Structures are given as structure tokens and as C-alpha cells.
Amino acid sequence: MKLEEIAPHVFACLQQKPGLGFSNSGLIDRGGGLVVDTFWDLPHTREMIDHYSNVWATPPRRVVNTHYNGDHCWGNQLFPQADLIGHRRCAESFFKENPALLQSLKGMDVSGQPGLAGLKRGLEPWDFSGVELTPPSVLFDDRLEIQLNGSPVEMVYVGPAHTDSDVVVHFPEKRVVFAGDVVFRLCSPIGWEGTYARWIAALDYIISLNPDVVVPGHGPLCGIEGPREMKAYLEYVREESKSFFDAGLSVAEAARRIDLGPYEVWDGPERLFFNVERAYRELRGDPPDAPIDANFLFAGATQLYLERWAGGT
């Protein structure tokens, strides 16, 4: 984990490891302080707070959650003095994920269940004990603008893209965008509720802001090339998925055959399985908020990894 100064009074706390849940956070140390996203568990969020405490004047008055996934908000309770801000659907979806369940999975025997085994491996670095789900209570629908010592910060709803509750945080004075999981950088995305069209529109919105620095939800800092490459990945996977869907192939077969080209070196290439399945859902005409079979998805991605990137089973 490391702290980077992006601009005067603007910082990013970056978790530099590949793997599930290693997200990024941001801090604007003005107007009482604004933190963008907390981390997946309390130990990692405490480490983030230690980093921030080296540069912030006082504990922040506000925390914004870019969406409801636990790796962006399960540390919220460590900011008891702050207003917690998020999209209305972030609060509504907050209890979809369950820290106690994930903590118990870490101790379970999951032999013979490849989906759970893949997820369990991803959870090894995390300790969800003590997490009390603390959803945002300052809610908005389309946009919220606040002033930090006279400098506006805009929070704009761009979902359902990666999830139903995606928000990007724009600090125009410093040309910085905190993109949440609308942007994964050098790292394969996973999408939950939402559509390719909305996700691509969200990326177009970030590009239209012409930022100098984009803080992605996962991966290293970037400029405008980050959302551009993310958009190209999504367009490519959607197009490839469509041709295999039209040819009648299963999700697993399509994911086995799609040539990832330049995206093969991104962290977690096996997440392609999630993205093909998501494209198939759309091509079948399923609603974007249709229930998701996470066990099937993690099992498919694990199998794909074993076949394509771990030298076969």
C-alpha cells in the first residue's frame, strides 16, 4: 500500500497487489477533508488511515462510496465522525454482500467446489472480522456538488455500469477523477449489475471530463488512456462474445476461444468468463438486475484460468 500526492491537497492510497479486492482510495484534504472509498476489511482500512494521517489536517468530514461492493466500503465504520455519502442504490444494495459469510468461507472445506475454492483463495489476504456494515446515509440520485473551501467537487451517477450504484468523483480544479470500478487499470474488470452500453457511456463521460489524473478502482494511477483502454476492452469482449453467441457456443467455450491479445497481460485474465457471461445475459435480453449466480461465475473463471493460464488441468 502506498500514498501518492496527485496534486496539492489531493492524494491516492493505492493497494499495489494483484488479486481480488485490492482497491484504491482517494483523499482531498480541503474543506474538512473528503475520502473517496474505504477498503475491504478493517486492518487494510486502518493502514490507509495511517497513511492519510501523515498528510491530513484533521480526520475527514466526508467519505464517499463509489459503489456498494465491499472492497470500497467495508471500512466505513472507521470514520465515525464523517458524513457517509453515496448513491441511493449504494445504500439499498449495501447488504447484498455479507462479511460474516465471507469470513466463514475462509475456514470452510471447499474441496470439490471449484467456484468456492477460487473465491476462498482470493480471500486469503483479508480478515473480515469486526466489519459492521455501515452504509452511506447522505444519498443522492443524479449528482451532488459540494464545496471544499470554495472548490467544487462533483459526484455524478453513471450507473448501472459496473454495478447499479456507480458514482464518479470529479475535482475539476485539479483535473482529477476518482473513477471507482468504472475504470480497472491493467487489470481485468468484473461487472455485476449493469450493461455494456451504460459502462461504455460512463467511460465516455470520464473521457469528456479530460482529466489529467484518473484514480481507478483497481490498478495504478493513469491519465485519460485508462478509461480509453477500458472502453476498448469492453467493446472488444462484447463484440467477440456476440459472434460466439450467434454461433451457438456456450459461455465457457467462448471464453476459451477469445484471443485476449494485449489484454492477456492484465491481472486476472480469467475474469473474461464473467464478462462473456455478462454479454450473453444482455444478448439473451435478461434485465441488468437479474440475479447473478456468483458460484457459477467463480467456478467458470477458475476453470478457465486452469485451462488457459496455469498449464492445463
Please, are residues 190 and 154 in contact by the beta-carbon 8 Å criterion?
no
Q: How far is the CB of 216 from Zn ion (least distance, A)?
A: 10
Stretch of residues binding Zn ion (CB under 5 A), selected from 30-38, 69-77, 153-161, 202-210? 69-77
The nearer residue to Zn ion, 32 or 159, going by C-beta atoms, is 159
The nearer residue to Zn ion, 128 or 245, going by C-beta atoms, is 128
Cis, peptide link before residue 80, omega less than 30° from 0:
no
State yes or no: residue 23 binds Zn ion (CB under 5 A). yes
Q: How far is the CB of 15 from Zn ion (least distance, A)?
A: 10
Q: How far is the CB of 307 from Zn ion (least distance, A)?
A: 25
The nearer residue to Zn ion, 188 or 244, going by C-beta atoms, is 188
Stretch of residues binding Zn ion (CB under 5 A), selected from 4-12, 22-30, 134-142, 282-290? 22-30
Please, are residues 254 and 268 in contact by the beta-carbon 8 Å criterion?
no
State yes or no: residue 229 binds Zn ion (CB under 5 A). no
Q: How far is the CB of 184 from Zn ion (least distance, A)?
A: 8
Number of residues that bind Zn ion (CB under 5 A): 5
Interface mask toward Zn ion for 179-218; x: CB under 5 A: --x-----------------------------------x-
Q: How far is the C-alpha of 122 from the C-alpha of 116, rounded, in Å?
A: 10
The nearer residue to Zn ion, 71 or 166, going by C-beta atoms, is 71
Q: Which of 37, 71, 164, 229 binds Zn ion (CB under 5 A)?
A: 71
The nearer residue to Zn ion, 148 or 158, going by C-beta atoms, is 158
State yes or no: residue 166 binds Zn ion (CB under 5 A). no
Q: How far is the CB of 218 from Zn ion (least distance, A)?
A: 6
Q: Which residues have CB under 8 Å from 106's CB, separation 6+?
A: 120, 123, 124, 126, 128
Q: How far is the CB of 203 from Zn ion (least distance, A)?
A: 16
The nearer residue to Zn ion, 69 or 76, going by C-beta atoms, is 69
Closest to 278 in 3D by CA, of 197, 158, 217, 218: 197
Closest to 206 in 3D by CA, of 185, 188, 226: 226
Q: How far is the CB of 243 from Zn ion (least distance, A)?
A: 29
The nearer residue to Zn ion, 41 or 181, going by C-beta atoms, is 181
The nearer residue to Zn ion, 72 or 198, going by C-beta atoms, is 72
Q: How far is the CB of 52 from Zn ion (least distance, A)?
A: 19
Bridge partners, 266 (sequence order): none
Encoded amino acid at 267, one letter: D
Give contact residues for Zn ion (rule: CB under 5 A). 23, 69, 71, 181, 217
